[in-house]
Structure 1
Amino acid sequence: MTRTAIFYVTLVLSTVFFGALAATVSLVGGGRAWMDRANRGWARSVLFAAGVRVTVHGLEHLHSSGVQIIAANHQSYFDIWALIAGLPASVRFIAKRELGNIPMLSVGMRSAGHVLIDRDRPRSARKTLREAGGRMRAERLTLVLFPEGTRSRDGRLGRFRRGAFALALETRAPLVPAAVHGGQRVYPPGAKRVTPGSITIRLGPAIRLDGAEPADRKTLLRETRVAIETMLPDGGMDGAAPG
């Protein structure tokens, strides 16, 4: 059986198993720790099957309370599994609702408590973000968002959406920039085959939002983008640069 076949079989089986586990935990009130185990088990099994190693630098920049927002660039679906497996925190994602159209990914994310927002319905999206902010504080979660809004087609850092920073400004939680590199080689957008390799995550110092106002959204976007650019090979301009 080829590596790609092993990956897809494992993806299906692990999503069903850990998705069922997460759903059961949610129903019986098993708590955050059990949900984290389901999340990490799902991510690690998929990464192992694909032959992907994850290396993380800058863990000292994570807040000790676990309550924070991580803004990361987005090259591949593997970014999601790499961040879940690599970060020692209760990681939940804020992602576009279109992921709900991908059966295996959607089942795993919904069951594990990740947040899917409808960007075409601003009022609904704002309500979902407010609820996510409340969960973050109550459950001591680390919420991850992708300011580009979608995966890069060529590995280069795309345009950031200002709306992605609404949650950070509303909650005033520490905003940690993250540069994720390597997924473009493992499983680029549109790919059918998986190529074993490595994914590197680099975390930068948290951007404090004390005193920030909604009008500062553009400044926050620029500061976050610069922080991520400096941590990516060639400033995120060359998708083929080594990790």
Structure 2
Amino acid sequence: MIRTATFYVTLVLATIFFGAMAAFVSLVGGGRAWMDRANRGWARSMLSAAGVRVTVHGLEHLHPSGVQIIAANHQSYFDIWALIAGLPASVRFIAKRELANIPMLSVGMRSAGHVLIDRDRPRSAKKTLREAGDRMRAEQLTLVLFPEGTRSRDGRLGRFRRGSFALALETRASLVPAAVEGGQHVYPPGAKRVRRGPITVRLGPPIRLEGAEPPDRKTLMLKTRAAIEAMLAQGESGGSASD
């Protein structure tokens, strides 16, 4: 229980501190490097408070320029912190607009360059994704999306949304599949108690988009899903979490 209490206190304080830092950097034009520091500081604080160790395999599949899209499965909020802290890139997330209802988190995410989209308004979402693609190219960013649209309730890979791949087709950036394991043990959806444990991130070879058109979204979705399923099948994340 002490770890859980520490985690929640850290969640509040770190979100306020690094959110304010991101907002200040955005205001004064501090640039991408300072935004990365704010993002990683927030992520590492949360992982440390929970006693989570992150291991990453397949870093050779990341593009040196950082301009790419990562499609990952989604088991826990810890997936976000694991990817920010574990990947040597300027990572930003595409997340549902409902997070805007959390005041300090919303300010920090927007300031740090994360993208909040309203899936109930397709026209607005499409415009937001187009702007995100422009920013990705201009600032050499790596954008992460969760094709399932929400966290898995049982740890198994859920149904993918074809619309999630519109950004990849819009930008023609490399699409890197990622399998994240362990978060469902540390902090599953609906849980209140945090448990210590490892999280493993596996990156697969980029899926090329040359010649792909909007009608090819289903094919792209199936290729990405198959790649993530294969990586999830490679093995366990290193053992069960412990109290």
User: Which range, TM-score by smaller chain?
Assistant: over 0.9
Q: 1:37 aligns to what?
A: 37
C-alpha distance in 2 between matches for 1:77 and 1:20: 21
Q: CA deviation at 1:66?
A: 0.5
Number of equivalences:
240
* Residues 15-24 or 99-108, more deviating: 99-108
Is 1:126 the counterpart of 2:154? The answer is no
Q: 2:69 aligns to what?
A: 69
Q: CA deviation at 1:109?
A: 2.1
Q: CA deviation at 1:102?
A: 4.0
Is 1:212 the counterpart of 2:212? The answer is yes
Q: 1:60 aligns to what?
A: 60
* Residues 92-101 or 18-27, more deviating: 92-101
Alignment identity in percent? 85
Task: Give the alignment of 1:1-243 within 5 angstroms.
Answer: 2-103=2-103, 105-233=105-233
**Structure 2 letter corresponding to 1:214:** P
| 1:201 partner SS | strand
State the TM-score, normalized to the length of structure 2: 0.94
C-alpha distance in 1 between matches for 2:72 and 2:102: 21
C-alpha distance in 2 between matches for 1:229 and 1:11: 31
C-alpha distance in 2 between matches for 1:101 and 1:182: 27
Structure 1: gaps (5+ residues): none
Question: Deviation string for 1:64-117 (max 9, x for gaps)?
Answer: 110000000000001000000000000000011122234564344233221010
Structure 2: gaps (5+ residues): none
**Structure 2 letter corresponding to 1:74:** H
* Residues 105-114 or 183-192, more deviating: 105-114
**8 Å contact kept, 2:23–2:108:** no
**8 Å contact kept, 1:233–1:242:** no
**8 Å contact kept, 1:15–1:107:** no
C-alpha distance in 2 between matches for 1:205 and 1:242: 28
